[in-house]
Amino acid sequence: MSDQPKYKNPKWINKEVRSLECEILMGKEYQNCIVNAGPAKDGFVNKDFDAIMELIGEEEVDRLTAIEDEKKEAEEAKKKEQAEVHKNRIKQEALFEMKLEAFEIPLIKDSKNNEMKKNIRRAKSIVEVQAYSTILIQEELTESNLKELLSND
Residue 31 shares a structural domain with residue 94:
no
Summarize the confidence of residues 23-49 as an average pLDDT.
89
**Domain range enclosing 100:** 88-152
Whole-Å CA distances, 53 to 1, 37, 44, 69, 91: 21, 11, 15, 20, 52
Would you say residue 37 lies in a domain? yes
Would you say residue 15 lies in a domain? yes
Residue 50 shares a structural domain with residue 106:
no
**Boundary of a domain, candidates 18, 44, 78:** 78
Summarize the confidence of residues 35-41 as an average pLDDT.
88
Residue 61 shares a structural domain with residue 97:
no
Summarize the confidence of residues 115-119 as an average pLDDT.
97
Does position 72 have pLDDT exceeding 70, yes or no?
A: yes
Q: How many domains does the chain have?
A: 2
Would you say residue 2 lies in a domain? no
Residue 94 shares a structural domain with residue 68:
no
Would you say residue 147 lies in a domain? yes
Does position 6 have pLDDT exceeding 90, yes or no?
A: no
Q: What is the pLDDT of residues 79-111, one digit of tens each?
A: 999 999 999 999 999 999 999 999 999 999 999
* Overall pTM > 0.85: no
